[in-house]
Amino acid sequence: MIKIYEPTEVLFDHNGLKILHPTKAEIYIEDNGDYYIDVESSIDDLEYLQEGMIIRAATRWGEQGFRLTNPVRKNNKISVKGYHLWKDSSKYIIFNSYVENKNCNDALDHLNSACDVGTPFTTISDITTINSTRIVRQSLEEAIVTVIEKWGGHLYRDNWVIGVKSKIGEDRGITIKYGKNSTNIEANEDWSNVVTKIIPVGYDGITLPEKYLEAETQYSVPYTKVIKFEQDINQDDYKDEKGNLKEEEYKEALIEDLRNKAKSYLNENQYFKCNYKVKAHIEGVIDLGDVIVVEHKRLGINLTTNVISLKYDCIRDKYIEIEFGNFKTKLKDLVSNIDKQTKETVANANEVVKVTLQNELNTATSKIWGTLGDSYVIYEGDRILVVDSLPKETAANVMMINAGGIGFSNTGINGSFNSAWLIDGTLDMQAVNCINMTANLVKGGTFKVGSQLNEAGRIEIYDLSNVLIGTFDENGIVVFGKDGSKVVINPDEFAGYDFNGVKTFWMNGDEFHMRKSVIEEEITLCGLARWLGIETTDNTGIGIVPLT
């Protein structure tokens, strides 16, 4: 059943404006990707299939709402696409919000509450990983994309409920025999990263005593590579009481760590990657993430894959296209300006380009390089990472460059990028250490100088003639007069000095002193009497007026 509702509908506790009977109603849903319905109907439904209206369609996973957009009228038919209600999250803006040390559920709640106005959404997650992220001038949709990239997981969408789940789908015992139904199956294989035999190389060029490691799976063509692994075994853990390194124990720890890293790498990359698209019904498939085993008889292996997208016919209550595979799920098409089709530059079989100094680099560049230490550049299609160690997951210091700008993190690639230089010219920093800065205008909340961390801070103020007229430093505030006089304000003193350095006024406890005073109009004494100048026919004198 397909119902149509007004654009403002939220509860869906009635049957809507009308029950529609379209000639076509197909839903496409993708893991961490698109979710929409394509509808085609008679021109008689024109008044209902308009921009902003909401269609509510029965699916295998419950009734779901879709907001219609861009209707197309052709002859006696009208066709329109509707995006799932979760896509309304693109209409809510987060100006600046920092999610600090929260699990995924709390992070989503935080960001949902940080929007410019209240949203109709409820957010949920079962991911307990603690992480942090800053969202600056992004939509709620973009913020959720960031959360999935940071915390991991799969996007869950159920009308106004937006969630991030650690796992979706079930293993229902489904097996596809590759080649048996080749007329209905389209396969896309990727062998570029397959490795079945490696020579692992670790810290300081260390190798395993056995030299090679081999995977259980072997093909008729060898896939042998030399893989460099980064290791972070702390030498301090292998020192005696006198601080001397126990070299044999340290070396054994390095070798065992290298062996474990190499085995994990082999297990992950011994099989090729493949996505399959079946334009036929597969019995047993119910939802995204369902497990499908593909028997590849020619290669003698079984591939365990997952459903990554579905096309569902609402009218016939039938899946008409299923895509499954073992490619890593990517966020794609969630936000129009985010392209998650990853392309990596592969060098020395470890997918890393190491930046090296060229002979023509000048002395200044060499000094900078010496300060930075080893750096590695990784190209990932939609972004460039500069990290201080490999593999990238072990890096602490990270610089990320993408279409939005440049971000800096010292908590790894999945940590907090607390400093950023955005493409619109905004410099968003938690701390700036600047030796010399020129600016026309500086705006901010707290301007902090001095303290033990920054030694003695100082602010100098100059007039248009470049003459110093005031300072703000460890001595307090000093304002200079053109004749050499000055006013001093600090915790110990509030005083004025003439050009000879003689005090002209000052505070002494709760008393105010001054050497000379000129009263232009009147003096009020203790709230009891007022002294003021008076004019008579003979001369000018002083009149005393009692205050009542």
User: How does residue 300 score in pLDDT terms, banded at 50, 70 and 90?
Assistant: low
> CA–CA separation, 421 vs 408, rounded Å?
9
Cβ 408 vs Cβ 415: under 8 Å: no
Tokens coding 427? 């410099």
Q: What is the mean pLDDT of residues 508-529?
A: 81
| Cα–Cα dist 383/340, whole Å | 9
How far, in Å, CA of 369 to CA of 362, rounded?
Answer: 11
175 beta partners = 293
**Average pLDDT of the residues in 144-158:** 94
Distances (CA, A) of 119 to 92, 161, 168, 402: 7, 11, 26, 29
Question: From the CA atom positions of the chain, what is the Rg in Å?
Answer: 36
pLDDT at residue 370 in the model: 44
User: Which pLDDT score is estimated for 547?
Assistant: 66
Highest mean pLDDT among 102-111, 169-178, 281-290: 102-111
The 10s digit of each residue's pLDDT in 394-416 is: 888 888 898 888 988 888 888 87
| Model confidence band, residue 440 (pLDDT cutoffs 50, 70, 90) | low
Identity of residue 391: P
State pLDDT tens for residues 262-274. Answer: 998 998 888 877 7
List all residues 6 or more positions away from 526 whose beta carbon is below 8 Å from its beta carbon: none
pLDDT at residue 314 tops 70: yes
Q: What is the mean pLDDT of residues 82-98?
A: 96
Q: What is the pLDDT of residue 445?
A: 62
pLDDT > 80? residue 234: yes
> Does position 82 have pLDDT exceeding 90, yes or no?
yes
* Local confidence band at 448 (pLDDT 50, 70, 90 cut-offs): low
Task: Quick: pLDDT tens for 369-395.
Answer: 444 456 778 877 788 888 888 778 888
Residue 517: CB partners within 8 Å, gap ≥ 6? Answer: none
pLDDT at 131: 93
Confidence of residue 46 (pLDDT cuts 50, 70, 90): very high
- How many other CB atoms are there within 10 angstroms of residue 408's CB atom? 16
d(CA 411, CA 132): 10
Helix (H) or strand (E) holding 187: strand 185-190
Residue 22: per-residue pLDDT: 96
**Range name among 172-176, 234-238, 431-435, 487-491 with the lowest pLDDT average:** 431-435
Average predicted confidence (pLDDT) for the chain: 81
Q: Kindly provide the b/e burial profile for residues 204-218, where b requires at least 16 CB atoms within 10 angstroms of the residue's own CB.
A: eeeebeeeebebebe
Higher pLDDT, 221 or 539: 221
Q: Between helices 140-151 and 104-113, what is the axis angle to 10°?
A: 170
Predicted local confidence at residue 334, as pLDDT: 46
- The confidence score (pLDDT) of residue 362 equals 43
Give the pLDDT score at 166: 94
Angstrom CA distances, 318 to 107, 310, 311, 459, stand at 36, 10, 9, 72
Question: Average pLDDT in the 500-522 region?
Answer: 86
Q: Give residue 349's pLDDT.
A: 32
Task: Please report the pLDDT score of residue 5 as a whole number.
Answer: 97
Averaged pLDDT, 441-460:
64
Highest mean pLDDT range out of 463-472, 503-512, 520-529?
Answer: 503-512
pLDDT, tens digit, for every residue of 316-364? 999 888 888 766 555 544 443 333 332 333 333 333 333 333 333 344 4
Q: How confident is the model at residue 446 (pLDDT cuts 50, 70, 90)?
A: low
Q: Which two tokens stand for residue 63?
A: 């009734």
pTM for the predicted model, two decimal places: 0.52
Over the stretch 243-254, which tens digit does the pLDDT of each residue have?
Answer: 888 988 999 999
Task: Tell me the average pLDDT across 162-184.
Answer: 78
How many Å apart are CA 26 and CA 310, to the nearest integer? 10
Mean pLDDT of 206-215: 92
Query: CA-based diameter of the chain, in Å?
Result: 128
pLDDT at 65: 97
Token duo for residue 466: 């470049």
